[in-house]
């Protein structure tokens, strides 16, 4: 676990040819994905299967998390009012049975982007009523009114990623661990029918006991689903990996989380928050 040389289990070949059809469709509809903007290592695999995690509210984030590859800007510009409709068209064209929609963080907007999430949910429902919808939301600055706008649109899953352990929140300078944690509990208090989900990136300097405590904190907020994955440095501009977590340690975390009561846990080096997300609803 202490080694910082990329181990054999993290050497994945990128197949650009397999993703051309999905790439073309996304370009045609002028849609962004977190897959491309965040340089997800699973993009080729997902695009080959015509899966994509849509990124709304532009390509520029108002926050400066030091592990994230997405571009930063204090003034990203107004949201595109036609974007929710195009996302729905993308879901229809890809014939997705389950869709994950996320966004950059928009602290510059009065509602932090909540209305765009809600409209996207409604537009998808109108075109694809049988598709299950998962929203991976920012913290909305802790505003309950913004969260209520989203919950009232009734997605099937609302996710919010804690990303790392409290001690390392210096890597998320505009975020607050307790705000992020309690947001998940507030979803359940607003609508018990919505499943909640969170994710951690490991290998940023986290300790085993800290990770386990975060899992306990999440269960304390009745969080349903959990994903654990290995942080991989997207480019030289982001912070380097501190440690590579072994597959056996990921499996240990999975067993611990399931024993705590999580309904579904995906845990492994290449797991990401939207990776095979539909599986959580098929339990």
Going by C-beta distance under 8 Å and a sequence separation of 6 or more, which residues neighbour residue 117? 56, 101, 103, 135, 137, 149, 150, 153
Q: Helix 20-28 vs helix 83-94: angle between axes, to the nearest 10 degrees?
A: 150
CATH code, domain with 164: 3.20.20.70
Number of domains composing the chain: 1
How far apart CA 24 and CA 149 sit, in angstroms, is 33
Locate 37 and state its tokens.
């903007």
- What does the pLDDT look like over 5-19, one tens digit per residue? 788 888 766 665 556
- Please give the model's pTM, rounded to 2 decimal places: 0.92
Residue 193 has pLDDT above 60, yes or no: yes
What's the pLDDT score for residue 6? 83
**CA dihedral sign, ordered 66, 137, 253, 36:** negative
pLDDT for res 1: 44
Residue 256 lies in a domain: yes
Residue 124's pLDDT is 98
pLDDT confidence of 55, banded at 50, 70, 90?
very high
Q: Is residue 3 part of a domain?
A: no
Q: Is residue 98 part of a domain?
A: yes
Residue 18 lies in a domain: yes
> Which range marks the domain in which residue 272 is found?
8-282
Looking at the domain assignment, is residue 255 inside a domain?
yes
- Establish if 2 belongs to a structural domain: no
Does some domain include residue 1?
A: no
> Does residue 155 fall inside a structural domain?
yes
């Amino acid at each position: 676990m202490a080694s910082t040389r990329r181990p054999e289990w993290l050497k994945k070949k990128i197949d650009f040819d397999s993703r051309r059809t999905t790439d073309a469709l996304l370009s045609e509809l002028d849609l962004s994905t977190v897959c491309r903007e965040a340089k997800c290592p699973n993009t080729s695999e997902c695009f080959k299967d015509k899966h994509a995690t849509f990124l709304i509210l532009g390509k520029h984030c108002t926050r400066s998390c030091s592990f994230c590859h997405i571009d930063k800007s204090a003034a990203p510009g107004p949201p595109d009012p036609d974007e929710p409709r195009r996302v729905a068209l993308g879901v229809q064209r890809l014939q997705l049975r389950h869709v994950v929609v996320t966004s950059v963080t928009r602290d510059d907007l009065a509602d932090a982007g909540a209305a765009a999430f809600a409209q996207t949910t409604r537009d998808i429902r109108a075109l694809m009523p049988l598709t299950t919808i998962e929203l991976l939301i920012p913290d909305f600055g802790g505003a309950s009114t913004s969260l209520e706008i989203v919950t009232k649109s009734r997605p099937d899953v609302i996710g919010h990623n804690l990303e790392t352990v409290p001690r390392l929140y210096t890597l998320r300078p505009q975020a607050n661990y307790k705000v992020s944690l309690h947001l998940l509990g507030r979803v359940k208090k607003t609508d018990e029918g919505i499943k909640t989900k969170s994710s951690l990136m490991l290998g940023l300097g986290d300790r085993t006991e800290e990770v386990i405590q975060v899992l306990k904190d999440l269960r304390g907020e009745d969080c349903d689903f959990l994903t654990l994955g290995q942080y991989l440095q997207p480019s030289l501009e982001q912070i380097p990996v501190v440690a590579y977590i072994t597959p056996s340690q990921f499996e240990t975390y999975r067993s611990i989380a399931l024993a705590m009561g999580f309904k579904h846990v995906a845990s492994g080096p290449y797991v990401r928050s939207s990776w095979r997300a539909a599986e959580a609803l098929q339990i």
